[in-house]
Amino acid sequence: MADYLYCGTPDQVPAVQTQALLQGQHHAIWCPPHRLIPWHVTTQPANGDRVWLLWRSTRGAAPLLLGGGRIVMTPQGGVLWTNRTLPGVRPAAEALGYEGPANMAFLHLTGTVSPAQLAPVPNLGAFANGLNEASAAEVTVLGGVLVIP
């Protein structure tokens, strides 16, 4: 199994709304398809892979850890869910301030957890906004702050 981190930014919505989508009934992370916004991965995410959700205000800022969980695949075997495959996720995202086409895409997670309070996570090193494959060092740091069962 692989491990991933997803870093949101204010280009989508603020940190609190990003976390609210994960903590809501759909347990989702807004995630455009890699053909629209490049993913920084060498392996395709699979069912049960861990994802930590981060958010940062600027590229150089220490990210906030918002939560995490394990990827759930669509019934068709894909990793991205839409309102068709996860009914109600798009209106829930729009209510939080997300904007996008009718087929907005999301990662859907199970076993979601969130930290007791939002705090910056130092020493993660450099990573891009969006979906990233987590390095062993990043997994050690993130797993020390928030365990994803």
Tell me how many domains the chain contains: 1
The pLDDT of residue 1: 84
* Residue segments in the chain with a per-residue pLDDT below the cut of 70: none
The secondary structure of the chain as a DSSP string is --EEEEEE-TTT--HHHHHHHHHSTT-EEE---TTTS--B-SS---TT-EEEEEE-SSTTSPPEEEEEEEEE--TTS-SEE-TTTSTTHHHHHHHTT----TT--EEEEEEEE--SS--B--------SEEEEPPHHHHHHHHHH----
Residue 114's pLDDT is what? Answer: 96
Query: What is the domain extent for residue 71?
Result: 3-145
In this prediction, residue 42 carries a pLDDT of 87
Note whether 5 and 138 are within 8 A (CB). Answer: yes
Residue 82, pLDDT score: 96
CATH number at residue 85: 3.10.590
What pLDDT score does 59 carry? 81
